[in-house]
Amino acid sequence: MKKVAIFMTAAILSTTCVLDATAASPKSEPLSTDLNSFDPANWNVSNWTNGGMFNCGWKPDHVTFKDGFMTLNLTKEESHGRPYTSGEFRSNKKLGYGTFEVRMKAAKGDGLVSSFFTYTGPSNGDPWDEIDFEILGKDTTKVQLNYFTNGKGDHEKLIDLGFDASEDFHVYAFKWTKGKIEWYVDGKLVHTAKGSGLPTHPQQIMVNLWPGINVDAWLKPFTYDGKKQAVYDYIKYTPEGK
């Protein structure tokens, strides 16, 4: 199934935004975290709900740091009007062209999504631009890639990983430059998108774990059978040319 929306605010407002074809990603400083602890100078944890297909609220206490890892914890606790609570982590700054990288282990289970992506949109005063890695819990031997430009997606690509992403840590990265996005898994190029219709606006780095609702054809129905966790070892951004 094609993903209909990522952010409720973006879904409502993106149609009112006109993409500036001349928008250029500014020069950005490198950003790296080994996730030993929370760094509020560069990162923040969410406390809200995205609504729509996201059947959880985000709460800061569901993002935990221990033994050099950050864990997003999904539990059966009501928050922000949703029946489940999970964690979302994002960079404070929007970042331009460069290489975005994470080492992570995904959650397994029907109805779940473990993510690593970049995003900006109307809530930031921008058109909706986004670049995705999404590991669907129904089949963690694959990863779904996608991008959105001014709210238009429908660029999904499902990649066979050759391993189970829920069993161990692997490195997922994409290189974003003007007119091209290259996605890599463990250093191997797995997909390339080219053309003038790619994202052009600086974006925040984001990771989250969530259960879906009303998207069973895409994710399969979610049934809670205990705490679910997506675990992150590090997140790294290297600006273009560095």
Residues with active-site annotation: 130, 134
| Number of other CB atoms surrounding residue 172 within 10 Å | 23
Name, in order, each residue with C-beta under 8 angstroms of 47's C-beta and a sequence gap of 6 or more: 58, 59, 60
**For residue 230, what are its two tokens?**
């997506």
**For residue 5, what are its two tokens?**
């929306």
Burial class (CB in 10 A: 0-12, 13-18, 19+), 154: exposed
Q: How many helices (H) and strands (E) does the chain have?
A: 2, 18
Secondary structure class of 175 (helix, strand, coil): strand
Pairing of strands 31-33, 56-58: unpaired
3-class SS shares of the chain: helix, strand, coil, % to 5: 10, 45, 45
User: How many whole angstroms separate alpha carbon 198 and alpha carbon 193?
Assistant: 8
